Structures are given as structure tokens and as C-alpha cells.
Structure 1
Amino acid sequence: MKHSRESFLKKSLAFGSLISFTSLQKNLYAFGSEENKQHRENPIAYAESLGYTNPIDQVLLTAILAPNSHNSQPWKFKKISDFEFYLFGDGEKQLPEIDPINRQFYHTQGCFLELCHLTADSLMFDTTIKLFPNGKPYAKTFSKFPIAKVSLKPKTKCVHDFLFAGVRDRRMNRSVYSGEILTKEELEGLHSFALPFKNQMKWTNDVNELRAILPVLENAFAMETNRYVSNELNRRWFRLSETSILENRDGLTLEANGLSGIKLWIAKKFFVDLSKEVWHSEDSKQAAISMFSSQVHSAKALVFFLSEGKDDETTWIETGRDLMRYTLSCSVKNIAFHTMNQAVEDYPESRLFTKELKQILKLKPTQEIQLIARLGRSSYRFDSYRRDLKSFLV
């Protein structure tokens, strides 16, 4: 009996969920270098093991663990002294197909800056962050105009932000979540631990509200997958083989999308193909949509990052700083976190879904949805790689 590739994958993955090949799972699930693990477990000790004893280097090596779109790591830095550096955006890592005005690009810069601040705090330094010290850069001038100037100064008071404790276990968890809906107490605890925020946060665990919102997120993902330019962007950033992952140390992977063990082996062996013909085939696109559907409908709560009034580069950086704090709070509280932004991106097809979400959430015309994330429970672990620190220096 013959099956299409989509049919085969669905049957194979269902089969894989029932059978455990221990040795195979150990080999695939444990994929990743000891070096990568050490970087996550204790970034300061890892920096020292590489000979980075200067606090500014330890701050930078830790801050590249910040979340970022497509694991593109779009940062460049120029050290001015032992206590100051400029942060530049890496213009070659822009994603105009899905982020035409660089909203997410600046979110990523904000994540980096907040983790710089928290790392410096853990090392007994205060930070001063001056945005756009030489004026705002644009798509073609990121190499000339820094996004921020960061200065470190020894603390005069022993006051710490305990969010730094979440760095070790912070990850974007794209697996299917399990268990019950997150309680009001759990969500309030996440919020309180992450304070203060630059912008507004709105969460929901209301079953009826989730039923209204989740199909919108699913349909937005389907739209983006069927949209050639955005799907092609994903293909270019996808790293399939272990060799490709280790050589590039960036980009998208099946492992980061929640696959391990026999499911991962089947997908790599029989299904995922990075050739244009196969990647853009209906079977491949439907398989991706099906996987996302399982993820989104397993959400146990949603959180929305909102801004009001100005919607500019400074606002986007502030949103990124909020995102960094919230994901660290999730890490400390052992709550899984996964951004799902296909419905709030800045191209016309996506904005149709943005309008729908604003109506469901009853937002004011002056409010903007910056980011959306699902929350839940999951024990899945995979830590995306980061490039060598020297590759970021200018």
C-alpha cells in the first residue's frame, strides 16, 4: 500500500510515540556538545574557562544566550574600553520577509541589552544603557550607527535582581505541552517575579478566550507557511544535519522544534528535505502546519506583550527587555514558553490576523500587540547553539 510523504510521516510519528528505541533516543536526544551545555549551565564559569576574566567579556558571552528570532543572533559589538561597548545590529541577519520594519530585530536587541544588565548585576556592576547614541540606524546603516552604548560601573549598594538565576534553564520550548491549564496564581507569580516591565502584559487562561484565539494563531501560521517568501526564509535558515548545526551554530532545527528520539530520526531520515521542490511541496507544508497545530492547541495559557502610544524602535527594544525578563521568570518557575508571532507581523497578510486578535482582546486603537507567547508544562530540553564570541566583535 502506497502512502504520500505526509501520510507516511503522520503514521510514523504516531508509531514513534508508542515505541521507545532507548539507544537511538539516547544518541539523538543527547545531541549537542559539552561546550554548549557548559555555556548554559554556568556562563560566567564557562567564560573563565575560555580565559575571559574581564567582566565586559563575561557579560557579552552570557548575553548572546538571549532569545532571538530564527536563532539569527543579529548582534555585533565594539568594545570601547574594559567597561564600555557599543551594540550594533548585524544588518546581514535581518529577516525582511517576515519582519519588514525590523520590529522583531529590535525585540532581539532589547533581549540582549536586558541580559547584559542582569549579568552585570550578578557580577556586582550597575549598567548605563544609552540608546542610539549617534542617531537611529536604518536597514542599510546598522554597521555605522550603534543601537546602544553600554557602560559598566561597580555597584555601591548590594542590591540584586534575582532573575539572573533563570539563565541556566531558559529556552524556547516548542514541544507539545501537557497537564492542566495554568492557574491564576501561577500566572500572577510569573508576572510578579519578572517585574518591573517597560510596557504592558496581558495573560489569559480563560478556556473560552483560548478557544477563540488559538485558531487565529493556527491560521496565521498556515498563511505564513503557504506564503512562498516566508517559507523560503525558513528553508534558508534551517539546519538539518549535525554537521550543518555544528558548523553554523545558528538557525532553525528539528530539535529546537520539539522532536527527539525515534520521531526525530524518522523526520530526518524519510521526510525533511531542504531542496526547494520538496520543502515547498504541499505534503511538507501540511506536515509543518500539523506540527504547529499540535503545539498551539496544547497551550495552557497565553501572554500578550502590549504597548500603548508610540510604536517605534525604542518601544520595540523595551518590549525585548520585557521578553527577556518574562522568559527568565518562566525558567525560574519551571513554566514552558514559546513565542508565536505569525499573527502580528508587519506585512499585509499578517495584519489581517492582528486586527482579528485586537477585536477578541478588546484592545484600544492606541494599543499594539508586540509579541504573543503560549505557556504550559513540558520537560523537553534542547538548547540551541550560539556562535563563537569572536564572530560578534567589530
Structure 2
Amino acid sequence: MRLTDDFREETTTDDSGGATRRTILQGVTVAAALGVSGSWVRVVSASANGDGGPWAGWETLPDAIHYPDPRVRAIAYGILAPNVQNLQPWLMHLIGDDSLLVFADLSRRLPVSDPPDRQLTVSFGTFTELMCAGASVDGYRLDVKPFPDGAAPMAFDARPVVAIRFVKDATVRREPLVDHILARSTNRLPFDPATKISAEQIEKLRSEAVRPGLVRGTADPDLVRRIRDVARKAYLLEMGNAGVRRELMNMTRIGKTELNSYRWGPALLGPAVEAAITDGSMSRASLDDVTSSQYQAGIQNYLRAIDTGQAYVWVATADNERVSMFEAGREWARLHLSVTSLGLKLQPHSQALHDYPEIAALKSQLHSLLGISAPGRVQMLGRLGAAAVAPHSPREAVALRLLA
């Protein structure tokens, strides 16, 4: 069991082009419909997300023939960014010939575990950084303005999250990290205990940050042990919290049929999953039942991965303002690509960084361990090491994230 684009052009303005725009809007509108059954949620309807399959975005990028607009080519890079729970919360509106606005899909928030949309904001930073890397391939630099109409203080609203303008610039050089985008993936497998991470490798990762002061890391055995202990406790607390657990379960795609209809959210895949679906032993109810063997197996698998952590990296900002969250996301995207360039793997450990009340004590303990005091904020933490290749998360078609 493993937890894990096509583009229809929108460049004409005649009646046919209008029909294409309506199709794009329909694709966004008919996102996953969820029906309540007891205290958990089951998927009750689905809509086709276009041709090419859940991993088409990974398989066809970059392809200038299919992506004639440089903005859409850059978006195709951006949608491959790491993002919270694979929500892919980005919606883009192309403006004129050189600009676009990025909005939040408000149906893809995490109101229980991430009520202030902090993790969602980080995800807009990762998306933007990969867009910048992708645009460099075509010789463009991006003028990026986060929250052009102001930032929502409590949670996202209908205002744009980012305004971006494409500027053709002869001095722009291809971003070296762009070559590692297709190889990057979040790795939840146990890491190889024989592979040791050095202080020099961590410094190498810091050196490739735009703001090296935001990126830190450690392979010190004592500190690693204490961070690992907090990560373990935070995961167990999260899975023991019915509200947080069910929020995750509601968006998890169980089996290939759900995945093919909903190409966002975490996914449970593989022959064992399909067999359990067929015989009726796997469902959202069984995965939510803390006494079930499936629930217990999932817990133990995740803990085995946590227990192999021998080095950690994190991104911390001087405050927890909305722009700082966004910039942390940009650094996290670069960090993950840098990790990939070294032949290493990275898994975020976000549980101790959530913002629901019950996690506050462990969040405070983690900040203390990492030497971050208020108003500073650890925005991202990840386990670093070597492991087998993990599968990519699915991605929606670019067209379904474009607004007319």
C-alpha cells in the first residue's frame, strides 16, 4: 500500500474560444462532491479531469508544442510544487499578454488543522518558486507581488494571493534547480540508516537558498533524537484527534477509481488496496476506526518512517506574517530541489507545526528545541536522508486550474 496534464488552449476570443473557457470553468466548479455519512465523509460523485491520467503533468513537462503560452508553461512547472496534503489550491487567471493573478481555491482549505491557512500560504510560495524556475527556461524573470490587494488577517478570502508579471530579460539564465523538478517527490518511506548526512551537505543546502538565514538543519544525534521524539508524538496526537484525522480522511483517495476522478489529495494505492476495496474490508469508516487493523497498520508504517530520521532541515522566519509564510514556501521549494540534486530525499513533518489548540504544547517544544523564539516561527520541518524512489503525487490538468 502506498500513500501517495493536459492543456486545452485558451487563446482565442471567438465563439469556440468562449466554449473552451466555459469548459475550464466547469472543470473547476465540479470539484469533488462530498456527502456526509455519520461522522465521516465518503465520496459520492466524481467528474472527469481531462485526458492523460493523474500523472500526465509529470510525464509531459516541459512540452513547448502543447504549452505555447510561456505563462502556461511556467504554470505547468508550478503545479508540480510540494503543497499541503496535495490540495493543489491554486487557481490562475491570465491577464493580457504578460500577467496573471493567482487565487486560493477556498473549497480546499483545512479549517480544522490549519484554520489560519498558514500551510496553504506556504503552498502558494512553493508554487510561485517553481513557476519562477520554469519561466527561466524561456528567458523570463517574474515580478512577483504577494497579496497585491492586502492579506486576509485570519484566513484566505476572494482576494488574489499573488500577482505575477512576466518580463523577457536577456540577462536571465536557466535556473539550475529546474532540472530536478521532475525527480522531486515527497518520500514517506523508511530512510537508509547507513547513509549519514554531513554538516557540509546541510551547509550546501543552505547555500542554495535565496535567503540562507531562513534555512537551517542538523545531523547532531542528540538534537535529531529530540526532534524525532516530538515528530512522533505530534503524529500520534494528530491521528488521535478525531477532527483532524477525519479532515485528512475526507480528502484521501482510496484506490485507483477515486484517484482517476479526483487528482488532488493524498492517495492510497496498490494491489492490496484494490483487493481490500473489492472485498469490502477497506473504507473510510474502517480507516477512521482506531481499533481496526488497517488503522493500526497505517500508524505503524508511518512511525517506522519517522524512526529512521537521522537529520532534519527546517525553514524559520522572523515573524508569522502572511508574506513571511509565502516566502518560507519559496525557500522550501528550493530546499527540496536542492535535496533532490544531492541524491537525497525529504519528507515534511508538519504535524507539530499545525495551528489547532491541542498541538500547541508540542509546537512550543519544537520551537524551543530549534532555538526559535516569538515572534519567530518555524514554517516547515522535514526529515532528510536516503531512500528508494517514491511515487509522485497526482496532479490535476493545468486547464482545470485556469479561470476565464
Preserved CA contact (<8 Å) 2:93 2:100: yes
**Gap change, CA 1:132 and 1:365, over 3 Å in 2:** closer
Which structure has greater helix proportion? 1
CA–CA distance in 2 between the matches of 1:141 and 1:295? 33
Aligned counterpart for 1:204 among listed residues 206, 218, 239? 218
**Gap change, CA 1:267 and 1:302, over 3 Å in 2:** farther
Residue 387 in structure 1 maps to residue 401 in structure 2: no
CA–CA distance in 2 between the matches of 1:196 and 1:251? 29
TM-superposed CA distance for 1:371, in Å, is: 1.1
Give the alignment's TM-score, normalised by structure 1.
Answer: 0.83
- 1:321-332 to 2 correspondences below 5 Å: 321-332=330-341
Aligned counterpart for 1:305 among listed residues 300, 312, 315? 315
Residue 185 in structure 1 maps to residue 185 in structure 2: no
TM-superposed CA distance for 1:295, in Å, is: 0.7
User: CA offsets, 1:348-368, max 9 Å, x none?
Assistant: 211110111223233333321
CA–CA distance in 2 between the matches of 1:93 and 1:272? 28
- 1:123-162 to 2 correspondences below 5 Å: 123-137=138-152, 142-143=157-158, 145-162=159-176
**Gap change, CA 1:293 and 1:270, over 3 Å in 2:** farther
Aligned counterpart for 1:56 among listed residues 71, 76, 79? 71
Aligned counterpart for 1:243 among listed residues 246, 254, 257? 257
- 1:88-167 to 2 correspondences below 5 Å: 88-137=103-152, 142-143=157-158, 145-167=159-181
**Gap change, CA 1:318 and 1:93, over 3 Å in 2:** same
- Partner residue in 1 for 2:299: 289
Preserved CA contact (<8 Å) 1:199 1:318: no
- Partner residue in 2 for 1:230: 244
Preserved CA contact (<8 Å) 1:107 1:317: yes
Aligned counterpart for 2:385 among listed residues 366, 376, 385? 376
Tell me the amino acid that sits aligned with residue 132 of structure 1: F
- Partner residue in 1 for 2:285: 276
Bigger mean CA deviation after superposition, 105-114 or 382-391: 382-391
> What is the root-mean-square deviation of aligned Cα atoms in Å?
2.4
Residue 354 in structure 1 maps to residue 369 in structure 2: no
Preserved CA contact (<8 Å) 1:121 1:161: yes
Preserved CA contact (<8 Å) 1:231 1:280: no
Q: Secondary structure at the match of 1:337?
A: strand
- Partner residue in 2 for 1:44: 62
Bigger mean CA deviation after superposition, 283-292 or 95-104: 283-292
User: CA offsets, 1:127-157, max 9 Å, x none?
Assistant: 10112222224677633x1111100011131
Preserved CA contact (<8 Å) 2:313 2:383: yes
TM-superposed CA distance for 1:289, in Å, is: 2.2
CA–CA distance in 1 between the matches of 2:279 and 2:232? 25
Aligned counterpart for 1:170 among listed residues 173, 184, 202? 184
| Equivalent residue pairs, number | 352
User: CA offsets, 1:318-344, max 9 Å, x none?
Assistant: 010011101111121111011011111
Bigger mean CA deviation after superposition, 314-323 or 265-274: 265-274
TM-superposed CA distance for 1:44, in Å, is: 1.9
Gaps of 5+ in 2: 2-50
TM-superposed CA distance for 1:185, in Å, is: 2.2
TM-superposed CA distance for 1:267, in Å, is: 6.9
TM-superposed CA distance for 1:217, in Å, is: 0.6
- 1:212-227 to 2 correspondences below 5 Å: 212-227=226-241
- 1:53-92 to 2 correspondences below 5 Å: 53-92=68-107
Give the alignment's TM-score, normalised by structure 2.
Answer: 0.81
Preserved CA contact (<8 Å) 2:215 2:313: yes
Tell me the amino acid that sits aligned with residue 101 of structure 2: Y
User: CA offsets, 1:224-278, max 9 Å, x none?
Assistant: 00100111012111111111111111111235xxxx6x76677767897233255
- Partner residue in 1 for 2:345: 336
User: What's the % identity of the aligned pairs?
Assistant: 22
CA–CA distance in 2 between the matches of 1:141 and 1:371? 20
Gaps of 5+ in 1: 1-8, 10-32
Q: Secondary structure at the match of 2:339?
A: helix
Q: Secondary structure at the match of 2:62?
A: helix
**Gap change, CA 1:266 and 1:120, over 3 Å in 2:** same
CA–CA distance in 1 between the matches of 2:286 and 2:88? 28
**Gap change, CA 1:166 and 1:378, over 3 Å in 2:** same
TM-superposed CA distance for 1:293, in Å, is: 1.1
